[in-house]
Structure 1
């Protein structure tokens, strides 16, 4: 038994160390709309080599004549460095050699890159394809859009002589059409194999640096902050009004409301800062992520202890307290790791396999919570039926119905998420992507609001507190509603106080 405890503590310690290392590894640099390239390498594809420079949703400007309110992609200090062998092969006499192209394409026009329209799989123009002047040998094949002849956009940079370094001119490309834009750096010359890229590009929307798929979340988090504030204010007024009859469970509800309020406010300020600077503020982001993980953990624990009948059917959790605490701690670690990965990693593109490594533990733990919650609810309802506790039974039935509806909505939304991600691998539906995280926050808020209504502080709150069975008279008295405030109820309470 002792050995099992030591192994459990060792596992928890290892999890904590792993989380600490993960936080440290992400703290070295958090980038947002400013995409930095540090010794990036080019990947071969067909007869070309490419480096993915970024992809973001960009909105069309409301006022195209005002430079300050326009979307753009800006290239700053972008430098290409080739190997000495590649530089020697070209020689000093070739002034312009080793062409590298920056290609900006709206995802809907992706078929315009490469030789598809020439019935060829080639990306770079070959001697055969260049014969009919459809393209220029040694360059990426681009089929221009007749409605927008400058797009897809091509920006050329060449090496000079035998130099092993070429710097791209500082360039700003303005965006006039709403869409998901991809940036690729490409070259066709096989002699440039081994070339690396450094520098950065800055992407900006008309309203700020927030990527298009994240921009609506700033308004959403601001609205949720107000919603939690209103809920907190109503709860606080009731709490102060009936503070003498407050149940222990109602203190936990107060804590969840406070955590939700702080979390939404931190996310709002984090997004405001991100929108104005282009990079995520490390301190605020870590605090927001931590509050989010704590709020999710405490919310699930609240649902669990309510389902177990804490303070209503049983005075304490007894011997299962440690199990509940352990599940909560493990969930916090898993949730914190996932939140850090999603919010402190590269917001542009990350490995889906790596993300799955963080998503799976959270999904499994959520399933454990759901099973435990409904199992506990079943036992609680059974106990209340046996005791003929009419008012408490009705209360828990309402809670069970609300919880069941929320689970059904969650399952349906997970199905929608899977469909959304499977049908949109390139992010073409980016304008709706913000709805995915927004739904879970709204559902959590509504569940909390339901609990606040069902367990609202009132002068009769103590009638729902745990008590030993005292016969049918007690059951009749218990039928008084939790939020009831009639004079008869008050009189009965005073009579009971006299008898006591």
Structure 2
């Protein structure tokens, strides 16, 4: 390349590695500016415990194991067998705050990673090596370790070593060569990145405890719902069966996430099969939850026994949403360890966001129509329930839009992921919001002794679209009563609703 990127741009070349035990299997170096570079990973690491404390044995480090570099035969043949140093590779570790301490600039031009003849005169760096400026807080950082080829050897190995981390921060690892003769370098081996509490990356670590609390919250909701469910099981509606499925999926997902993170933290590996399974359960839960909200908005289980001709459209939307969510979550979680989001996610998030927007539009359109029908029929009990549901849904949508704005701001103002310690809140918010909305639905449509009796009590006399009328004329649900008895049941309905 003719031009050289600025030093901070090193951070944009971080790639997704397999696990917290980062594996390098014949990975090739890329030409970046005036260097050849391979990203070894990027993670938030908490500083080691203070010696002498009760947990002083827990320490943070980046460990190098079985690192081997291979060069081409053409590159090796350019040297003699007697040469002691015939090719230099430098291992660079730096904290994100010290990103400007790697590289330099001559005459105000673009920054170079490697020392050039001009920079050697201006800054006193050694030509052919990475430019390193000592950190203002610790002159030993950034860390630069040298690995050299000798003679005509095709490979060289790095001694197994460990770099202790004594300062909390976002750390980046790069393998860099400034020798133009080493074009085509490849590398094997692994690095281990460890926090005091385990191998879980700093950004993900708080989520493990969060999933414990979410699991407990779902257990409490599940016990409460199951008690009502069994108490009035003879009067359970199809809608309440659907709510039960969503609660079960939510509890199952939170438990699976906890055990996936616990295994990751303990072993340092993240099996693709296990993570894919967890992600799939989450995608199913989100899809079913959204279809449940859409169905409730259409009056399913309260004003109508089926969705009729709209069923196929709802199912098609659900399948499409599941596929989009599954692809997005696989990109986000499967095989990913670094505390830097992959670029592919930016592309996959667009169809997911579009489908969410379409769902919200359809939900509120259906909800508006349902409210109009209830108001025209003067069904005060159901109208009050749907108004509460509508208000709750509006609050959730407003909160979502505000949070999306905050998330965009958070990421835009933190390009180098220096606020990684609070990044877990971005993920946690959506689970909390989904749980809150589920609790509202459970409260509004809780099982009671008269669920079947008044579910479709106002069904006759309503005017539906032709497509919807066809489904409602196929049969009369159990417990239906005539409009002539409605006046006598108003007070009783109010009492049932309060239960």
TM above 0.5, yes or no, is yes
1:44 counterpart (17, 23, 31): 31
CA contact (8 A) 1:389 1:475 kept: no
Cα deviation for residue 374 of structure 1 reads 0.6
What residue is the counterpart of 1:291 in the other structure?
Answer: 281
What residue is the counterpart of 1:484 in the other structure?
Answer: 498
CA contact (8 A) 1:123 1:140 kept: yes
Give the match's secondary structure for 1:97: coil
Asked if 1:360 is matched to 2:350, the reply is: yes
Superposition CA RMSD, Å: 2.1
Asked if 1:61 is matched to 2:55, the reply is: no
Cα deviation for residue 245 of structure 1 reads 2.0
In 1: Cα distance, 2:31 partner to 2:51 partner:
38
Asked if 1:450 is matched to 2:428, the reply is: no
C-alpha distance 283-464 of structure 1, shift in aligned 2 (>3 A): farther
CA contact (8 A) 2:332 2:342 kept: no
CA contact (8 A) 1:157 1:168 kept: yes
What residue is the counterpart of 2:101 in the other structure?
Answer: 112
What residue is the counterpart of 1:92 in the other structure?
Answer: 81
C-alpha distance 147-351 of structure 1, shift in aligned 2 (>3 A): closer
What residue is the counterpart of 1:9 in the other structure?
Answer: none
Cα deviation for residue 42 of structure 1 reads 1.9
What residue is the counterpart of 2:72 in the other structure?
Answer: 83
CA contact (8 A) 2:47 2:59 kept: yes
CA contact (8 A) 1:101 1:155 kept: yes
C-alpha distance 133-31 of structure 1, shift in aligned 2 (>3 A): closer
Deviation string for 1:22-52 (max 9, x for gaps)?
Answer: xxxxxxx982201111222222233222111
C-alpha distance 67-104 of structure 1, shift in aligned 2 (>3 A): farther
Cα deviation for residue 131 of structure 1 reads 4.3
Deviation string for 1:280-299 (max 9, x for gaps)?
Answer: 13443222111101100110
2:359 counterpart (361, 369, 379): 369
1:422-461 residue pairs with structure 2 within 5 A? 422-461=412-451
What residue is the counterpart of 1:495 in the other structure?
Answer: none
CA contact (8 A) 1:270 1:281 kept: no
In 2: Cα distance, 1:181 partner to 1:222 partner:
28
1:249 counterpart (239, 259, 263): 239
Cα deviation for residue 352 of structure 1 reads 4.9
Asked if 1:474 is matched to 2:479, the reply is: no
Q: Which moved more, 1:314-323 or 1:165-174?
A: 314-323
C-alpha distance 283-152 of structure 1, shift in aligned 2 (>3 A): same
C-alpha distance 464-423 of structure 1, shift in aligned 2 (>3 A): farther
Cα deviation for residue 201 of structure 1 reads 0.8
C-alpha distance 482-34 of structure 1, shift in aligned 2 (>3 A): farther
Give the match's secondary structure for 2:286: helix
2:59 counterpart (46, 70, 75): 70
In 2: Cα distance, 1:403 partner to 1:87 partner:
67
In 2: Cα distance, 1:119 partner to 1:356 partner:
34
CA contact (8 A) 2:279 2:329 kept: yes
Q: How many residues align?
A: 457
Deviation string for 1:321-375 (max 9, x for gaps)?
Answer: 1111111111112211221221113332788552233212211111121111111
Q: Which moved more, 1:58-67 or 1:419-428?
A: 58-67
- What TM-score, normalized to structure 1? 0.87
In 1: Cα distance, 2:168 partner to 2:488 partner:
65
Asked if 1:163 is matched to 2:153, the reply is: yes
What residue is the counterpart of 1:395 in the other structure?
Answer: 385
C-alpha distance 258-165 of structure 1, shift in aligned 2 (>3 A): same
Deviation string for 1:472-493 (max 9, x for gaps)?
Answer: 75156245144435xxxxxxxx
Asked if 1:383 is matched to 2:373, the reply is: yes
C-alpha distance 356-334 of structure 1, shift in aligned 2 (>3 A): same
1:340 counterpart (323, 330, 337): 330
Bigger helix fraction: 1
Give the match's secondary structure for 1:440: helix
Cα deviation for residue 97 of structure 1 reads 2.3
Deviation string for 1:435-488 (max 9, x for gaps)?
Answer: 111100000000000001111112232344113444475156245144435xxx
Cα deviation for residue 125 of structure 1 reads 2.1
For structure 2, the residue ranges without an aligned partner over 5 or more in a row are 1-15, 461-481
What residue is the counterpart of 1:258 in the other structure?
Answer: 248
C-alpha distance 443-150 of structure 1, shift in aligned 2 (>3 A): same
Asked if 1:130 is matched to 2:142, the reply is: no
What residue is the counterpart of 1:216 in the other structure?
Answer: 206
Give the match's secondary structure for 1:138: coil
Give the match's secondary structure for 2:269: coil
Q: Which moved more, 1:192-201 or 1:468-477?
A: 468-477
In 1: Cα distance, 2:299 partner to 2:234 partner:
21
What residue is the counterpart of 1:496 in the other structure?
Answer: none
